[in-house]
Each structure stands twice: as C-alpha cells, then as structure tokens.
Chains A and B, each alone.
Chain A
Amino acid sequence: MLDFLSSAGVFDAMLAVFAAGAFGPLLLRHHDAAANVWSNSLAIGGSGIGLIFSGVALLKGTVPAFGADSTLPLLSFSIRIDQLSAFFMLVISLVAIFCSVYALDYVRHYYGKYSIGVLGFFYNVFIVSMILVVSAHNALFFLIAWEVMALASYFLVIYERRESTSIRAGSLYFIMTHAGTAFIIIAFLLMYRTTGSFEFGEIRDGIAAASPLVKNAIFISALIGFGVKAGVIPLHIWLPSAHPAAPSHVSALMSGVMIKTGIYMMVRIYLDILPGAYLWWGLALLIIGAISSLLGVLYALSEHDLKRLLAYHSIENIGIILLGLGSALVFSSYGMTTLAALGLAAALFHTMNHATFKALLFLGAGSVIAATHTRDIEKYGGLIRLMPQTALFFLIGSMAISALPPLNGFFSEWLTFQALFQGVVGFDVITKITFIISIGSLAFTGGLAAACFVKAFGITFLARPRSEHAAQASETNMLPKLAMAGLALLIVGLGLFSGMVLKTLAKVTGSMANLQGVEADVAQFRSVSIQNGFAETSMPALFIGVIVAAVAVTAVVAVLTRKRKTETGPTWDCGSDLTPRMEITATGFSRSLITISRGVLRPSSETEIEYHDANRYFPKIGTVTMGLHDIYRTYIYKPLRDLTTLIAAQFTKVQSGNINVYILYIFLTLIGLLFFMDLQS
C-alpha cells in the first residue's frame, strides 16, 4: 500500500489533476465562480496527492525514479525523487494546499474585474512547475520546468494588469529571472562540457574530473543564477516589487516556496552534485547570508507597505537559510561531515518554517488589505477588535518569524546558531572571523526582526483606527480563516515536535552525496541535543513551562485580587483631545533604527513647503517625503544598463537594415564555423 502511494502512477495522477485544474478554468472562463471552484479544488487535490506522495517517500526513505525519453537528443523527462526532492515537494504541496483553500474565498473579489479562468490556469501551472523543478533529474527538463515556473509566476505578478505598478514589477521580474536563467544555463553547459551528460546522476559520477577553474565557474554561475530566484542581496531588486503585486495567495506561494527552489538547487549542486566543496564557497555563502539577513530586515523596517515589508523579510530569511547552508559547505570542505549535516539540517528546517509563517503572514496581510482596501500600514490601526481571528493568526506568524520561543522559527534559528557556534573554535583566522560575523549578524537580525514585527503587528492591529476604511473593516470569511488556522497550528506543531521533525530532516542530510550518508548528530523526541551535548534544549518543556507559569500567575493573582474591580476608561491624554493621529506611526516607530543605520540605508528626506506670501513667512502646506536611496539601482544596475546600451550602440554599426547584408553575415558565420570544426578535428 505504502509503496503504491509513492509510485509513478500516483505522480502521474497528480500531474493529471493539476492539468485538469489548469485547463478546466480556461473552458469555464465565462463563469467566474465555477472557474474559481474548479481550479482551486483541483489545486487542493493535486497538492494533496503531492503531499501524500512526498510524505511517504520521505518517511519510508524510498527513492521513486521514473521517466520518459523524448525524441530530442539529450533531453529526457526523467523524474527522481530522493529525500531532498521529497522534502521540498512536501513543503510546496503543504503550503499550496493552504493557499488554495484561502484562494477559494479570496479570489471572489476579482470576479468581474479580471479573468478568473486565466488566474486558475496560471495558478495550477505555477504549482505543478514548482513540483517538477524539485523533482526533475535532467538538466534540460529542469530548465523547461524552471522556465515554465518563471513565466507562470510572471503572469501571476501582472495579473492585476490595469495597475501600472504591477506591469513595472512584472517587467523587472521578467528581466531579472531570465538574466538568472542565463547563468544557470552556463552552469549546466559547464557540467556538460566535462561529463557529456545532462542527467544529474551522470554529472555527479563524472564531474570529479573537472578542473578547479571549471568547478569554481560552476559555483559562481549557479550562485548568481539561483541567487536571483532566492533573492539574495544585491540580486534581490525584483523581489520587493514583484511579490506584493501578485494576488495575496500567490504572494504567499512565491515568498513561501518559490524562492526556496533557488535554495533547493544550491543544496543540490553544492552538496550533492559537485564533490569536494572549496573552503571559499562556504565562506562566500556565509558572507552573502549575513549581508542578506541584516540588510533584508533593515529594509523591511523602513517599509510601510505591508506586503513589501513581508517581501523584505523573505530576503532576510533566505539570508538565514544561507547561513546554515554556508556553514554546511565550510564544514564539508574541512571533511567534517557530521557538522555539515547539522548546518544543512538547520537550513532545511528554516526553509520549512519560513514557508509556513511567511505564507501565514501573507494570507493575513491579504485579508487585512481586502478589508481596508489599502496596503499602507499607516492607514490601519485597531484591527484586532474588528478582525480578532486574523489578528491572532498574524500574531502567531509574527512571533514565529521573530524567532520567539516556543514557536518553530525559534527552533530553526537556534539550530542555525548551533551550526555557526561550531565554526568559531579550532579553525583558521579567516574562517573564525567569518563565523563570528555571521553569528553577530544573526543575533542582530533576530532583534531587528522582533522590532519590525512589533511595528507591523502593533501599528496594524493595535490602538485606534487611523482611517475610515480601517474603522469599517470586518473579519474575513470562513475559508481564509480555516487556511490561516491550519498554518498557525502547523507553526505551533512544528515548534512543539521539532525533535521529531529534525529526526526526519537528518535522513535528508544523510542522502546527500557529499555527506556520505552522515546524518545530523541530533535528536530525541523530548529534548534535542547538539554535538555531544554542547547545547541542548527541549521545545515541549519550553512550551509547557511558559504556559504553566502563565496560568499559575493568572490563577494566583485572580485569587489574591478577587475583590478588586476592573474598570475601563479613556487613555490618559494630558488634558488634550486624544486623536488617532497622536499614536505612533510606522515611520516614527522605525525612524530611530533607520537613523542609526543611515550609513547603509541612506535615508532620504525631501521637504516641500508652499507659502501664502511672497516673503515666505506664512507656510500654507508642508510635505515631507521620506524614503531610502536605491543604492543598488544607482551603483549596480544603472551602470550595468548604461554599459549594455553603450555596447548595443556599437552594434548598430553593423546593422544596416538591408536583408542581403544579414544573409551575408549568416553565410560568413557558417564558413567560419566549418573552418573551426575542421581545425578541431
């Protein structure tokens, strides 16, 4: 029975369900409600099958491999779901189920505005392409799936096509993701050059023959290519605009799981396909991770568009995942496979945790935005009374992402810290310093993330409403609440049972070729102990401890003060009229932290004053525009663009527009190639 559940037939059935989910809504595109129910129900069904399939493969340790040959040379549709693939497929399916449940209700507000059929088509294609990306075993097949994923997500980003910001965000995403794909193709071609194959298995067997130069080139190309998709700084510029532009359930999928496909391929290439990592690879990942996590959270602090804020937190969390992965690479270059397995387990655990809480936060944000019709956090306030359940779920997500115990985010950060701690003593100076910097960066990131989510939650849900829309908001419907409740339970569960989860993840680390079957040295159910007891903690004890203590304190105080009354009254207002404008704003809340980090953030502030009189004594209207200078555009992308334009301008010299000349060029190229072939043989 169990073997059947992870067989090729089930995988094909999943593909068929997604195909039906994709093409059905196109036929039903004139019936919004039918298209919505059809596409999202089948997305739930397909993801459900995917969840069972990958869950069985993961727990039983089977490696389903099957496929079909194609008529084209080098391309084969081969699928191989080893433990790593099964893990990522599990995460994708899990989050997709909740997002689809949410979408069943959420999509209704697009009825009559945009085509629901098209949304359903691209949504299903998007999910299935992500699953194919993590299960493909052939580089060309992988690239096809990767491209389909990029295009499907592009069309989802520009779904609200009448908004000019969506189109701009989509174009930027389109260009960036294809620039990334170019580097990925270079990496695969380099592998092909050495091994003569595009099959991952054959590449793994033959790549050892590659020279160090080729290996380093593969590392760099893959880092840039997959770094764009993962959103590491400075390749992140598409992410904060693209994720918010998409519908919220799609943002949840993009932020929660799509960017993780970049992480998946980094793990696949660096720890599975390429043998013998060099030390500098791991150090480079650590530095990139430290920069991405710290800058990601600082940019998030300066945002007051709720979805952009969450998008920047994705960059931060990708940084944290890279810290775990980087430490794994460093340890593996030293031949310390046990420690490498620990680092990888931390990275994978955080991957899964981030998928759950980021999906929850985006869904919560979607409900808030649907209720208030604005993404500007300054216009919220007091929503905890109008949307109590959404507020509770958002609070759970905020606590998890701020790494507060006893939720799951704390445990994976704890694990990442442990992996980094192991790199401080007994290594050469450069490694040691890199690890210390990484630890410092992770510590500051944790604190700043907490600050940012006090802001995000506090300004959105607490105090009094700051706008008409916020004052008239109402709680979201049953299905979205159900989806959020499911994710919230998952967050609590993953925290509570982190020992068991880690045990399963240890199996994944054991399946990596470079770790030679070594599983992370961790795990019992009750408490998790790292590296011969260097550190130990028990999430259930922490959970129960905090709850028992809180209940005990409440009970004792309630008995002690049972005769005392509790009245409500107005907030003390110093004798003035307290209006919502006197509450702290999101800008004000984070201004001090931004001022402190002005060296990196480069805050800008423009003051404009209109006067009543020519002598400029009596101001009429004053406006202050606060923002950040976009240093990436100014110093990286603009020079790059200028260079491209310059080169393109040079090429216009050979472009005459005369078709005969072009035929001549083709002819000359052919002659040249023939000579070249002759010389080669």
Chain B
Amino acid sequence: MNMTAIPYWLLQILLIPALSPFFIGVTRRLKARFQNRHGASVFQPYRDFWKLFHKDEIISEDASWIFRVAPYLIFAVTLVIGASIPLVSTALSNTLTGDLLVVVYLIALGTFFLALAGIDTGSAFGGFGSSREMMVAALTEGGLVLSLLTLALISKSANLTAISANIGSLSFQSFTPIILAFISFSIALLAETCRYPFDNPSTHLELTMIHEAMILEYSGKRLALMEWASANKYLIFIALGANLFFPRGIADSLDIIPVMLALVLLAGKSLLFCVAIAVIESSIAKLRIFRLPDLLFTSFVISVIAIGLVN
C-alpha cells in the first residue's frame, strides 16, 4: 500500500459513522413530510448524539459487564464492516475482511451481543426484544447470504469490492438474476435495519418494538453508541444495496475527481434508498410478528430462483 492511499482509507473508515446520522435524519424528515409534519432538521441525530454524550449515565444494578461492553463492541463491529465494503472506489479493495460471509457474520456478531445486552438487565422488555430480534435475524440470514451469493457467482468473486467492480461492467444479459437478488436483498435490508414492516423504529410500545426494546435500559454515552451503531448499520445496508446492485459511478482509481464524483453519486443513491424506505414506511402497516417469516421466506425463495438463473 502506498502512502497516497492513506487519506482515502481514512475516508473509507470514517465515511459510514460520519454520514449515518445524516441519512437517519433524512429518512425521519421525509417521513414527517409524508405525515404533513414539518419534521426536525436532518442534522437532528447529530445533535441528539452530542446531547447524549454530555449526559450522565445510569446503569441497571443487575447488568453485568456484557451490558457495559456491548455498545463499544457493536459500534466497533460496524466500523470494521464499514471498512470492508465498497463505498467510493473499487481501488480500495479489502481482501482481508471484505468477503461477503465475513460481513454477514460480523453483522451477526453485533446482533448476538445486542441480544445478550437486552437480556442482561432482567427487564421483561429487553428479553422479549432479544427473542424477537434473534428470530428475525435467524430467518433473514438465508435470504441475505443467497442474494449476495447470486452476485458473487455472477462476478466470480466473493469479495464485495470485486463484486462491485464486476457487476458494473456487465451487460444486460445477467440483469434478471440481479434484479431478483435485489428484491431479496431489500427485504433483508428492511429486516436487518429494523424498518417497517418488521419493526417500528420510532415506537416505544412494548407490543411493537424489537430494537428499541433491547436498548431500553441504556442511557448517556452508551445509548448514543447503540443508536449510532444502529444508524451505521442502516447506512451500511443502503451502501451495500447501492454499490453492489447498482455500482455504476463508483471510482476504479484513487484520483481525487472520480472519488469525489463517486462520493456524490453514493450520497445521491443513498438518498433514493431513503426516499424508498420512507415511502414504504408511510404507506404500509407493520406486519403481525408471525407474518414476518412469510416475508423472510419469500426473500429466501426469490434468491434461490435468482441463483438458479445464474449459469
């Protein structure tokens, strides 16, 4: 690795945590507009984190070190994932941790500790949140792995950056499996990022919440880290969707102009994803929890069909 690449690697590592609150803010603002509200500024999540970092913290007396360590670990895992996926340039190829299964299982590592932290305080909410989260996570895994595998088989590499580079140079022949895989991936995206129809990100009702239930006992800096990590995960999935399935525009070198262009394009594509998610969240109702498996199995079956079409 030469010295000139170092600023770009810093950009790669910091991009996800730096921009993720913004895209959460954008999604919330869009949803507010759909509800005829004015909504908070798109920068509100930054202010929230700032506020939380300046508050004292109360930790349950029943909580063990798992509860204390989990936020740091979960946030760190999102940083590692952020450094492993294609963002602005395919020249920033990460062959060490950029494998699709590594990324999927790193996500599982975060979920594992999130669920343990939910149980740790002994609150009834946390435990049920963990139970539901693990159910959704377990059933999402099949569709997620197979949809990404479709792309890996088409581009003859399981490295996410290589997938991004190869899919961009494909003709329209292999269009059908990619679109099918994208539908499957989108369902997994909604499930993994705790969005409608799986979870309601803005609720605090015990009947409807999954993610919020698990982090109910957190406050202060640890709550900020948890919320921020969940924002990171949201942007990671959006970036994966944008750069793996529609990689046109991603730079293939480390020159400043194409990288900046790619950054703008990535932001544009991510905004489109946010609009789509806001439309979905504003137009459909949350599903009953026992209807969720149907949707997740649909995601699995669609990706099986997609793989079947790959030769």
Interface set of A (CB-CB < 8 Å, partner B): 381-382, 384-385, 391, 395, 399, 402-405, 410, 414, 417-418, 421, 424-426, 432-433, 436, 439-440, 443-444, 446-448, 450-451, 453-455, 457-459, 461-464, 527, 533-538, 541-542, 545-546, 549-550, 552-554, 557, 560-561, 564-573, 578, 580, 582-584, 588-593, 595-596
Instruction: Let me know if B116 and A569 touch, CB within 8 A.
Output: no
Query: Which residues of chain B are within 8 angstroms of A554 by Cβ–Cβ distance?
Result: 72
Q: Which residues of B contact A447 (CB under 8 A)?
A: 108, 137-142
Please tell me if the beta carbons of B134 and A583 are within 8 angstroms of each other in the complex. Answer: no
6 more contacts with CB within 8 A, not counting A450-B108, A454-B134, are A443-B142, A458-B116, A461-B64, A537-B102, A571-B217, A589-B134
Nearest-Cβ distance from residue A23 to partner chain B, whole angstroms: 47
Chain A residues with Cβ below 8 Å from B80 are 542, 545-546, 549
* Contact A454/B116 with A443-B142, A564-B55 known, Cβ cut-off 8 Å: yes
Within 8 A of A (CB), among B259-295: 289-290, 293
Interface check B216, CB cutoff 8 A: yes
Give the chain A neighbours of B123 by CB distance below 8 A.
Answer: 571-573, 578, 582-583
Of the residues B60, B106, B121, B128, contact of A405 by C-beta under 8 Å: B106
B:131-155 near A, CB below 8 Å: 131-132, 134-135, 137-142, 144-146, 149, 152-153
Tell whether, in the assembled complex, residue A568 and residue B97 are in contact, meaning their CB atoms are under 8 Å apart: no
B 177-231 contacts with A by CB, 8 A = 216-217, 220-221, 225
Contact B108 A527 (CB under 8 A): no
Evaluate contact between A584 and B216: CB separation under 8 angstroms. Answer: no
Q: Tell me if B109 and A593 are in contact (CB < 8 A).
A: no
- B164 CB to closest chain A CB, in angstroms? 15
A592 to B63, CA, bound (A): 25
Q: Give the chain B neighbours of A572 by CB distance below 8 A.
A: 123, 216-217
In contact, A545 and B130 (Cβ under 8 angstroms):
no
**Closest residue of B by beta carbon distance from A537:** B99
A11 to B310, CA, bound (A): 53
Query: CB distance B105 to A446 under 8 Å?
Result: yes
CB <8 Å contact, B122 and A583: yes
Cβ–Cβ < 8 Å partners of B225 in chain A: 553, 557
The answer to whether B138 touches A417, judged by C-beta atoms less than 8 angstroms apart, is: no
B293:A402 contact, CB within 8 angstroms: no
A534 touches B108 (CB 8 A): no
Beta-carbon contact of A549 and B76 below 8 Å = yes
Evaluate contact between B58 and A569: CB separation under 8 angstroms.
yes
Contact across chains for B131 and A444 when beta carbons are under 8 A apart: no
Q: Once the chains bind, are B99 and A536 in contact (CB under 8 Å)?
A: yes
* A566 in contact with B112 given A440-B300, A545-B83 (CB within 8 Å): no
Cα-based distance from A566 to B60 in the complex (angstroms)? 10
- Contact in complex: A424, B138 (CB < 8 Å): no
Inter-chain contact B77/A546, CB cutoff 8 Å: yes
Question: A458 and B308: CB pair below 8 A?
Answer: no
Do residues B146 and A584 form an inter-chain contact, with CB atoms below 8 A?
Answer: no
Asked if B140 and A536 make an inter-chain contact with CB atoms under 8 angstroms apart, the answer reads no
In this complex, how many residues of chain B approach chain A with their Cβ under 8 Å: the count is 80
CB <8 Å contact, A542 and B124: no
Contact check, A443 vs B145: say whether CB atoms are below 8 A apart. yes
Are A535 and B135 neighbours in the complex by a CB distance under 8 Å?
A: no
Rank and list the top 7 A-B pairs by shortest CB-CB distance, nearest first.
A584-B127, A447-B138, A463-B122, A549-B76, A447-B141, A541-B96, A451-B134
State whether A541 touches B119 (Cβ < 8 A).
no
* Complex: A410 Cα to B112 Cα, angstroms: 14
Residues of B whose CB lies within 8 Å of any CB of A are 53-66, 72-73, 75-77, 79-80, 83, 95-97, 99, 101-102, 105-106, 108-109, 111-112, 115-116, 119-124, 126-128, 130-132, 134-135, 137-142, 144-146, 149, 152-153, 156-159, 216-217, 220-221, 225, 289-290, 293, 300, 304, 307-308, 310-311
* Choice from A384, A433, A450, A592 contacting B132 with Cβ under 8 Å: A592
Knowing A444-B138, A444-B142, A568-B61 touch, does A404 contact B109 (C-beta < 8 A)? yes
Q: Kindly state the separation between the CA atoms of A566 and B67 in the bound complex, as whole angstroms.
A: 13
**8 A–B contact pairs at CB < 8 A?**
A405-B106, A447-B140, A546-B77, A553-B72, A553-B225, A584-B124, A584-B128, A591-B131
Closest to B294 in A: A596
In the bound assembly, the distance between CA atoms of A641 and B248 in angstroms comes to 65
* B130–A557 touching, CB < 8 Å: no
Which of B99, B119, B304 lies in contact with A459, CB distance below 8 A? B119
Q: Is the CB of B101 within 8 A of A414?
A: yes
A565 touches B56 (CB 8 A): yes
B220 pairs with A564, CB closer than 8 A = yes
A549 to B110, CA, bound (A): 13
Smallest CB-CB separation from A564: which chain B residue?
B56
Q: Which among A549, A550, A582 has the greatest number of chain B C-beta atoms within 10 A?
A: A549
Q: Which residues of A contact B59 (CB under 8 A)?
A: 566-569
Contact of A542 among B56, B102, B140 (CB under 8 A): B102
Q: Which residues of B contact A536 (CB under 8 A)?
A: 95-96, 99, 158-159
- Write out the residue numbers on chain A whose beta carbons fall within 8 Å of the beta carbon of B77: 546, 549
Query: By the criterion CB–CB under 8 Å, are A584 and B131 in contact?
Result: yes
Q: Is the beta-carbon distance between A565 and B57 smaller than 8 angstroms? A: yes
Which residues in A have their C-beta under 8 angstroms from that of B105? 403-405, 410, 414, 446
Contacts of B62 in A (CB 8 A): 382, 463-464, 571
CB-defined contacts of A567 to chain B, threshold 8 Å = 56-59
Bound complex: CA of A405 vs CA of B104, how far in Å? 10
B307: chain A residues within 8 A (beta carbon): 424, 436
Residues from chain B with Cβ under 8 Å of A458 in the complex:
115-116, 119-120, 127, 130
Give every chain B residue within 8 A of A424 (Cβ-Cβ).
149, 153, 307, 310
Given A545-B83, A572-B123, also A402-B135 (CB < 8 A): no
Give A6 Cβ to nearest chain B Cβ, in Å: 37
- A561-B119 in contact (CB<8A): no
Give the contacting residue for B102; candidates A414, A462, A564; CB below 8 A.
Answer: A414
- Give, as a whole number of angstroms, the nearest-CB distance from A456 to chain B: 11
In the complex, how many angstroms separate the beta carbon of B41 from the nearest chain A beta carbon? 23
CB distance from A294 to the nearest CB of B (A): 10
A571 touches B60 (CB 8 A): yes
- Give Cα distance in the complex from A440 to B138, angstroms: 12
Q: What B residues does A391 contact at CB under 8 A?
A: 64
Residue of B nearest to A459 (CB): B119
Q: Which of chain B's residues have a CB closer than 8 A to the CB of A385? A: 64
Give Cα A572 to B308, complex, Å: 50
User: Which residue of B95, B139, B221, B311 contacts A527 across the interface (Cβ within 8 Å)?
Assistant: B95
CA distance A32 to B119 in the complex (A): 42
A578 to B62, CA, bound (A): 11
